[in-house]
A and B are shown apart, each in its own frame.
Chain A
Amino acid sequence: AQSVTQPDIHITVSEGASLELRCNYSYGATPYLFWYVQSPGQGLQLLLKYFSGDTLVQGIKGFEAEFKRSQSSFNLRKPSVHWSDAAEYFCAVGATGNTPLVFGKGTRLSVIA
């Protein structure tokens, strides 16, 4: 069965600092991988996705993520965090066909001045 682990429940970074959010997945075949962001009281917004090809994917808002098959990881990065990036971040894994997405438990990002 698919599973997603986000080891960090809460991360605090200073504005302008770099950010890396960790995501590890378990899946038998090549997965489809996603990062979503959720601001308080809002729905989930897709940041980026990986299906195949180049293992470094670019997303919106200056985010990128790197797929590392050997480590079963899909970590999210941003070189310089802005206060507006404070939100909850969810990693998810999917597959072809009718298989639902499996979400990690999320990482809450706080940004301090």
Chain B
Amino acid sequence: DAMVIQNPRYQVTQFGKPVTLSCSQTLNHNVMYWYQQKSSQAPKLLFHYYDKDFNNEADTPDNFQSRRPNTSFCFLDIRSPGLGDAAMYLCATRERQGQETQYFGPGTRLLVL
């Protein structure tokens, strides 16, 4: 089945130690998103790729970076995680020209010690 896959599902890192979260998709969608979701809150958009065009939200900290080497894969890099970065990170995809529906992966739960 076509889907959005996130690895790992759980990630533990140390304060200040760089960490990378990955997302892959078999939907062949052009748009990919990264969201941060803290407990009992709505997902907050960090950035998205429209093909290879990177779009950063204005309030996304510089500590968060992203890479999209090809259509299928997208990475979220946190350069120096702080305790406040502990959250669920959700990847989503959307067709470029479709019905605007976003399809979400299962998420990666990040714990910062």
Q: What is the interface of chain A, defined by CB distance below 8 A to chain B?
A: 32, 34, 36, 41-46, 49, 51, 90, 94-96, 98, 100-101, 103-106, 108
Contact = CB atoms under 8 A, between A and B. Distances in A.
Nearest to A10: B40
Interface string B87-99: 0101010000001
B13 interface: no
Given A104-B42, A106-B42, A95 B33 contact: no
Given A90-B42, A106-B42, A96 B100 contact: yes
A36 B104 contact: yes
Sort A-B residue pairs by CB-CB distance and give the 9 closest, nearest first: A103-B42, A44-B104, A43-B104, A43-B106, A43-B107, A32-B100, A94-B100, A100-B45, A105-B42
Interface residues of B, number: 26
B103 A46 contact: yes
B70 interface: no
